[in-house]
A and B are shown apart, each in its own frame.
Chain A
Amino acid sequence: MAKGFVAITVERCKGCGFCVEFCPTHVLALSSAFNSKGYHAPHVVAGEKCSGCDLCGMYCPDFAIFGARYAR
Chain B
Amino acid sequence: MNQVTLEIPYEIPVDAHNPVEPFLRMDRMPHIWCPGCGIGTTVNCFTRALLDSKANLDKVAVVSGIGCTGRVAGYANLDSFHTTHGRALPFATGLKLANPELQVVVYSGDGDLFAIGGNHFIHAARRNMDLKVICVNNLTYAMTGGQTAPTTPDHVISATSPYGVFEPSFNLVALAEAAGASYVARWTTYHVKQLSRSMEEVLSKKGFCFIEVLSPCPTLYQRRNKMGDGLDAMKFYKQVSKIRHGAPTSECALTKSGEIVVGKFVDRDRPDYLELLRGQMTESLGDRYAEPEVSCSC
Contact = CB atoms under 8 A, between A and B. Distances in A.
Given A14-B35, A18-B230, A21-B231, A63 B9 contact: no
Contact of B19 (A2, A5, A41, A57): A57
Interface string B188-209: 0000110010000000000000
B298 interface: no
A66 B22 CA distance: 14
A18 B231 contact: yes
Interface in B28-52: 29-31, 33-41, 43-45, 48
Interface string B12-31: 11001011110010000111
B7 A63 contact: no
Q: Which of A8, A14, A43 has the most CB of B within 10 A?
A: A14
A9 B48 CA distance: 19
B54 interface: no
Interface in A12-39: 12, 14-18, 21-22, 31, 33, 39
B40 A10 contact: no
Contacts of B294: none
Given A5-B10, A16-B229, A57-B18, 13 more contacts: A7-B5, A9-B3, A12-B1, A44-B7, A48-B10, A55-B192, A58-B41, A58-B45, A59-B192, A62-B40, A63-B24, A63-B44, A66-B18
Interface of B: 1, 3-13, 16, 18-21, 24, 29-31, 33-41, 43-45, 48, 192-193, 196, 229-231, 234-235
Interface of A: 2, 5, 7-12, 14-18, 21-22, 31, 33, 39, 41, 43-44, 47-48, 54-55, 57-63, 65-66, 68, 70-71
